[in-house]
Amino acid sequence: MDVFFYEAFAEESAALRHHLQPHIKAGYSWKTIQECGHEHPPAPIISTRTQSVVPYAWATTLQAILSRSTGYEHLLAYQQRAHADLACGHLPRYCHRAVAEQALLLWMALLRKLVQQRDNFARFHRDGLTGAEAEGKTLVVVGVGNIGAEICRLATGLGMRVIGVDIVHHNPDINYQPLDEVLPEADIIVASMNLTPRNKGYFSYEVLRQAKRGVIFVNVSRGEFSPPSVLLRLLEEGHLGAVALDVYDHEPELAHALRSGDPGRDPEVAAALALQSWANVILTPHNAFNTQEAVERKAAHSARQLHHFVREGRFLWPIPGE
């Protein structure tokens, strides 16, 4: 076997089979590495998403790791902790439109109280269902890379006042401002930034308390930015008006808890599970990337990465620093 794909759901596996050249022998599982229980690498090249925990002992026998994700911080951390000079690649641009549309979907659903509307259909009541329109609302997009820039473009089309927060200003048509200055003005905050060792826990209790009461918070980038325990506390205090998450702090542990039915003792997992009961909270299973178009691009880009590695001994899109 040449490559083994972990965390590959049915549609993705079918697309990968279509794009891989016949001489590439591949294996597939929807499970993470830890759920598969593999003691040794099943192939010299493995491909994961972001929930698999690669054993450090594998670093001496693997040829390469391909993460089928835009983010790559987990690969950098693995290289550093395993002290391995191991080829690592990622997929820098396959899902920016899909994730941007999911962010829009989530804040619009929260603005219009879609969960409550669905629940009230059984009685056909409209009490407490009055929502809000997007036009004129202030949207703060924190992290204006490929995904963030697309979010800004979509929101501008809705007539929203859009403000970008980033340490670099790549887009001249975006109004960039410091976070502490715009938090009190924000009606909606969307996290779409890259994770680094310096910005973990970026949306802390102290930071989000600076936002005005009733603000909507959406995270479609990395769960490490917004611990569920912080969001739960702010909801309980009535400071956050609504929350939507597609990503989670301690996400591998949360996924295991939900799949196995065993909640364990992780406090962040417990907080995430508690968020499920709130009508003004929408939780999705790290699925923002998952459109027909993005899955097709993802499979095609993964195949290009693997074909290039087999032919050249290096990835076409290595993680920065390689």
Segment among 83-87, 97-101, 138-142 with least mean pLDDT: 83-87
Residue 56 has pLDDT above 90, yes or no: yes
| Domain 3-94+292-312, CATH class in plain words | alpha beta
Q: Which fold, 96-283?
A: Rossmann fold (3.40.50)
Query: What does the pLDDT read at residue 322?
Result: 57
Across 73-77, 106-110, 210-214, least confident range = 73-77
What's residue 158's pLDDT? 98
109-152 pLDDT tens trace: 999 999 999 999 999 999 999 999 999 999 999 999 999 999 99
pLDDT computed for residue 93 by the predictor: 86
Q: How confident is the model at residue 85 (pLDDT cuts 50, 70, 90)?
A: confident
pLDDT at 148: 97
Instruction: Write the pLDDT tens digit of every residue in 227-257.
Output: 999 999 999 999 999 999 999 999 999 999 9
Q: What is the 3-state secondary structure (H, E, C) of the chain?
A: CCEEECCCCHHHHHHHHHHCCCCCCEEECCCCHHHHCCCCCCCCEEEECCCCCCCHHHHHCCCEEEECCCCCHHHHHHHHHHCCCCEEECCCCCCHHHHHHHHHHHHHHHHCCHHHHHHHCCCCCCCCCCCCCCCCCEEEEECCCHHHHHHHHHHHHCCCEEEEECCCCCCCCCCECCHHHHHHHCCEEEECCCCCCCCCCCCCHHHHCCCCCCEEEEECCCHHHCCHHHHHHHHHCCCEEEEEECCCCCHHHHHHHHHHCCCCCCHHHHHHHHHCCCCCEEECCCCCCCCHHHHHHHHHHHHHHHHHHHHHCCCCCECCCC
> What's the confidence (pLDDT) of residue 9?
95
pLDDT of residue 197 exceeding 90, the answer is no
Whether residue 50 is predicted with pLDDT greater than 80 in this model: the reply is: yes
- What pLDDT band is residue 38 in, cutting at 50, 70 and 90? very high
Q: What pLDDT is stored for residue 83 in this prediction?
A: 87
Predicted local confidence at residue 84, as pLDDT? 83
Handedness of CA 49, 50, 51, 56 (dihedral sign): positive
- Categorize the per-residue pLDDT at 49 as very low, low, confident or very high, splitting at 50, 70 and 90: very high
Instruction: List CB contacts of 73: < 8 A, sequence separation 6 or more.
Output: 194, 195, 196, 197, 222
pTM: 0.90
pLDDT for position 53: 94
Q: 321 pLDDT band (50/70/90 cuts)?
A: low
Domain with CATH 3.40.50.720 in the chain: 3-94+292-312, 96-283
